[in-house]
Amino acid sequence: MKIQTIKEADLSNKKVLLRADLNVPTKDGKVTDTTRIEAVKPTVDFLLKNNAQVIICSHFGRPKGEKKDELSLKHILPTIEEILEYEVQFIDDCIDIEVPDAPISLLENTRFHKEEKENDADFAQKLASHADIFVMDAFGAAHRAHASTEGVTNHLPSYAGLLLESEINSMAPLLDSKQIEKPLTLIIGGAKIDTKIGILNNFLDKADNIIIGGALANTFLLAQGHDVGKSLVEEDQVETAQEILMKASETGCTILLPKDVIVADEISKEATAIDIPIEDVELDMMILDIGKNTMESYVELIQNSKTIVMNGPLGLYEFPQFEAGTYVILEALAASNSTTIVGGGDSVDALNKFNIPHKKFTHISTGGGAMIEFLEGKQLPAIAPLIKS
């Protein structure tokens, strides 16, 4: 996949509308994870170095087309300035405003306008009117055809930023079996099958092994006839899970599910957790993590793989009793000399919780849903206009 990047653009003395992903987690008004802001800094630095004026736009939270002060980007402005190491001029709207003649400006939350998610052409044109060039660098929003991601490409010369280029260069080879260094192991966690069906089906003939964890594994265990007690499970997706297991046997892909699990009868910091074989799960037990024997077998598999892709945690890592599976697997990936790609908001959150350096991985994706859809083989609407013909 060849895309137009800012390295090919004439940026000197140009106003650049930069679509970043500043939808960062916050608590009590403070940013708790700066990964996405840090990820866009190289693009901002490149634009400034090439004498461009940078006008940043982004969404933040889910204001549903209404102006809500608690979801104003002004609240994260100090963190943005600290990471970018520049003063940033904040503008209290994103359309029908004058952009100051400053090195970096930040427009207000694009989703304060319902026309953003509707990909309204007039709204997109108003956004585009601020600039001479559009740079898309919000991979986490690339699977959305919104005015600030896809709509503006109809009005301005458009290029990929350094972050978006890195995301594509890291993951595009995974879509071509000939470019994958094998054995390839795919690790898929999370809760819902419907968000992961596409990637599972797309990799049944590419991956040597697929590890399924998290609540997602419960549905597959149920599909195999296991009792999962009162674990979170999607009973209406059991047939889908059975179909995936059947296809895997036909393609020669090995699907791995937990052989032992960590269970408890409640989800709390006081819960008593025990490690038992999957065959012993019953009654009020809830499966909340993978067991020690399963961890050891997964680590051995990772050590014998050349490419490992992980999206989603393997347990309820937010609680200390149920964090070991996710921690052990991430540590195994960090210690590996193979190609390691990790994505998804919970996966990155777990990395930060466990203080595992991002630099130990080949690539950390800033997209959750976008990563999944990209690896499904879908053409993402905000990337399609950037592809070279």
CA angle 112, 82, 18 (to 5 degrees): 45
Which parts of the chain are beta strand (E)? 15-19, 26-27, 30-31, 53-57, 89-91, 104-107, 133-136, 158-160, 184-188, 209-212, 254-256, 260-264, 274-277, 286-290, 307-311, 339-343, 363-364
Cα distance between residue 68 and residue 99, in whole Å: 22
Strands in 133-136's sheet, in edge-to-edge order, are 89-91, 104-107, 53-57, 15-19, 133-136, 158-160
- Of 374, 321, 319, nearest to 343 by C-alpha is 374
Contact 275, 291 (CB under 8 A): yes
Contact 152, 17 (CB under 8 A): yes
Active site residue 144: no
Kindly name the residue from 36, 111, 144, 196 that is annotated as catalytic: 36
Active site residue 111: no
Kindly name the residue from 67, 68, 192, 360 that is annotated as catalytic: 192
What is the Cα 55 distance to its own chain's centre?
A: 24
Kindly name the residue from 306, 353, 360, 369 that is annotated as catalytic: 369
Contact 24, 31 (CB under 8 A): yes
Contact 237, 217 (CB under 8 A): no
Contact 158, 124 (CB under 8 A): no
Cα distance between residue 315 and residue 260, in whole Å: 13
So which residues are the catalytic ones? 36, 192, 345, 369
